[in-house]
A and B are shown apart, each in its own frame.
Chain A
């Protein structure tokens, strides 16, 4: 097994967690912070939202690094599914497979059916105008953009950087994130997937 084949296998959670901590460190060492929902603000500021909305009337140069980081993330994602593509699609616990199958979600069994990152038969352009697709993609996206600004951070800024920096506010926000995620998964999904 050569080096590329070795790192192309799915990574263990400890290696992944260590890698995220390294990225957080590198961003702070580079003079910024590990807080990625600010990228949405950056796009709004650069898009000229400050002309109409005072909240976005800020210097775009302070946030420009987030756009560069976002482009880098996309390139890294591309490398991850091409040069470093896993030999098998993402595999999750059998209990989850069963619950999702009961909801009618198809899990890819081979790479021909997808790599197991997004559910391709739910997230696609022809589903955008179905009620289910609209909720999962458009409403879901909207809530991410709205909620992260309202809570002033997301998983990277609050759940990882904030908690690691022992900030009580980040612990409260993270509890909120989980309450929301559990409501969607356990209360809303049975309804949404019946539509």
Chain B
């Protein structure tokens, strides 16, 4: 069953995000107020270690478990959408104290109210899909 692997990686992700307190609204506030190092340490470590494994898998031409080429996203420098879209996401990130991944983790904590936040996010994505051709990219 091909999907089972994603279930297990998801479970691992949920545990890490919870135990590392990365899904805490309060930790996001601490980060945006520059009062603590925790979130910067988490993100910094994740970026550096990911940069190292990306370097290694490229160097050794590693392939996926199904022997397919590894997927890496390449995106051209579209300033308007990156900055404008980035700021819009950032505004919401600090309000809800969560990015997309953590929302599912928090729902698993038993906070049913987070399902409302996820529904609002789906409405936002739907709205982007509708307005896409009218927005500057």
Question: A residues near B, CB below 8 A?
Answer: 7-8, 10-11, 13-37, 39-41, 43-44, 47, 49, 53, 55-56, 64-66, 68-81, 84, 86, 90, 92-96, 99-100, 107, 115-120, 123-125, 128, 135-170, 172-186, 188-189
Contacts and interface: CB of A to CB of B under 8 A. Distances in A.
- B: contact size bracket: 35 or more
A68 B6 contact: yes
Q: Is the interface of B mostly helix, strand, loop or mixed?
A: helix
A136 B96 contact: yes
Interface string B30-51: 1111011111011111111111
Given A53-B130, A170-B75, A185 B100 contact: no
Nearest to B28: A181
Given A76-B17, A84-B15, A179 B45 contact: no
Give the one of A10, A96, A125 with max B CB within 10 A.
A96
Nearest to B44: A17
Nearest to A128: B116
Interface in B48-102: 48-51, 53-54, 57, 62, 64-66, 68, 70-79, 81-101
Contact of A16 (B25, B42, B105, B129): B42
A144 B32 contact: no
